[in-house]
């Protein structure tokens, strides 16, 4: 049971990773080639996208010198016409390899958020983020795309309110609210019947350091 409250932090990211891993553990080894629910990517491409987000967010705060833009690392495409990525779980390792990669790359974001100075900021086109914004961004990408992967296998996934509500407060402060933070996040990101196709973006602008 997740009981954390307040601004998103490294502990909340760690809790989100464990919750997602528990869901993804249900995917069979040969199930990563299916198309993810609601996406043009396969489940494997979707988990690679999650890893890219978590790793890229970690690199926004890990260096001493502030960067403008994403870290300039080479990306590769696993097949012609498929999305480019930095991280690609070993295919022969099945679900176990995916979970190991998620633990390792997610752990980088946890460690960086825990150790970075409070006034350090990174870069993002939706507002240059601090630690709490990067934590929220990582959690949102993680839980939404975990839902996409599990949906391809007709497995229901729902992130708990204790994970989602702080992220809504931090980067979707102006989104409509109900008594269900998970549904509010789906609506804020165009994933409900009413909001599908609607343009959306979060606000990851850094908060003033007290």
Query: Is residue 140 within 8 Å of 54, Cβ to Cβ?
Result: no
Identify the bridge partners of residue 85 per DSSP, sorted by sequence position: 76
* pLDDT tens profile 61-95: 999 888 889 999 989 888 888 889 999 999 999 99
pTM (two decimals): 0.94
Say which range, 36-45, 135-144, 188-197, has the weakest mean pLDDT. 188-197
The pLDDT of 121-147, averaged and rounded, is: 97
* pLDDT tens profile 167-209: 999 999 999 999 999 999 999 999 999 988 888 999 999 987 6
**Beta-carbon count within 10 A of 20 CB:** 26
Q: Is the pLDDT of residue 1 over 70?
A: no
The residue behind tokens 């490294």 is 10
Query: Is residue 59 within 8 Å of 71, Cβ to Cβ?
Result: yes
Looking at residue 52, what is its pLDDT? 97
Query: Is residue 36 within 8 Å of 163, Cβ to Cβ?
Result: no
């Amino acid at each position: 049971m997740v009981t954390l409250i307040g601004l998103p932090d490294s502990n909340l990211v760690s809790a989100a990773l464990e919750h997602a891993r528990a869901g993804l553990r249900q995917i069979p080894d040969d199930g990563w080639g299916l198309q993810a629910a609601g996406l043009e990517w396969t489940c494997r491409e979707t988990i690679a996208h999650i890893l890219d987000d978590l790793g890229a967010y970690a690199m926004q705060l890990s260096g001493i010198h502030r960067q403008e833009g994403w870290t300039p690392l080479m990306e590769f495409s696993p097949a012609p016409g498929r999305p480019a990525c930095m991280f690609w779980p070993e295919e022969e390792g099945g679900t176990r390899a995916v979970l190991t990669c998620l633990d390792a790359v997610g752990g980088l974001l946890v460690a960086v958020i825990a150790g970075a100075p409070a006034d350090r900021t990174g870069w993002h086109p939706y507002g240059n983020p601090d630690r709490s914004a990067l934590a929220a961004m990582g959690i949102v990408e993680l839980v939404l795309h975990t839902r996409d992967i599990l949906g391809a296998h007709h497995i229901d996934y729902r992130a708990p309110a204790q994970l989602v509500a702080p992220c809504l407060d931090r980067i979707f402060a102006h989104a409509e609210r109900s008594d269900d933070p998970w549904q509010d996040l789906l609506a804020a990101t165009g994933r409900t019947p009413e909001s599908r196709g609607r343009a959306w973006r979060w606000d990851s602008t850094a908060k003033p350091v007290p």
